[in-house]
Amino acid sequence: MADPRGGLVLLRTAQRRTYLHHRRAEVGQPAAGELNRHGQLVTTPPLLAPLDAAQVRRLLGGGAIAVDLRPVGDYAAEHIPGSIAIPLRAQYATWLGWLVAPDVPIVIVRNPDQDPADILWPALNVGYTNVMRL
């Protein structure tokens, strides 16, 4: 943010809150920003219940989004049309927060060797509770 006299206003801003307000106005926030800040209380281990093809069709027809967490090569070989590919890695929850609204039901597509806990805990940490598995 430039000052009419030259220089950067944000570098001279003494209050952190003002700086953050200006910064958020410039770059925006991910969809799950508010939920991530406030968090949720999870008292039991999360589970991914399996879904059959009819359930997946019903969910996707009702507005759910398929998020494919398999490696890129697996997604390229075959995937659900309209699904979002977010390979399961450390940045998975960050991408989920940027690409999918937290109130939208999510159908997870994963390989059998991908641990459901590695999928669910990061999603819960950023406010996603509507996660199901194919």
Per-residue pLDDT tens for 85-98?
999 999 999 999 99
* Residue 49 confidence (pLDDT): 82
CA–CA distance, 60 with 92 (Å, rounded to integer) = 21
For 89, phi and psi rounded to 5 degrees? -155, -175
Q: Kindly tell me if the per-residue pLDDT of 38 is higher than 50.
A: yes
Q: Kindly tell me if the per-residue pLDDT of 34 is higher than 60.
A: no
Residue 90 domain-assigned (yes or no)? yes
Residue 114 CA from chain centroid, whole number: 17
Count other Cβ atoms within 10 Å, centred on residue 38: 8
Query: 25 and 58, same structural domain?
Result: no
Q: Kindly tell me if the per-residue pLDDT of 44 is higher than 90.
A: no
Query: 14 and 69, same structural domain?
Result: no
Query: 72 and 25, same structural domain?
Result: no
* Residue 13 confidence (pLDDT): 47
For 25, phi and psi rounded to 5 degrees? -65, -30
Beta strands in 49-95 (DSSP E): 65-68, 84-85
> Residues 33-40: what's their mean pLDDT?
55
CA–CA distance, 126 with 54 (Å, rounded to integer) = 29
* Residue 10 confidence (pLDDT): 45
* Residue 50 confidence (pLDDT): 87
Query: 63 and 23, same structural domain?
Result: no
Query: 125 and 72, same structural domain?
Result: yes
Residue 11 domain-assigned (yes or no)? yes
pTM: 0.68
Residue 38 domain-assigned (yes or no)? no
* Residue 15 confidence (pLDDT): 54
Residue 89 domain-assigned (yes or no)? yes
* Residue 18 confidence (pLDDT): 60
Burial of 120 (0-12, 13-18, 19+ CB in 10 A): buried
Residue 76 domain-assigned (yes or no)? yes
Query: 61 and 126, same structural domain?
Result: yes
The tokens describing 95, both together, are: 């991408």
Q: How many domains are there within the chain?
A: 2
Range of the structural domain that residue 18 is part of: 1-30
Query: 124 and 75, same structural domain?
Result: yes
Task: Quote the mean pLDDT of the chain.
Answer: 78
Query: 109 and 67, same structural domain?
Result: yes
Query: 57 and 119, same structural domain?
Result: yes
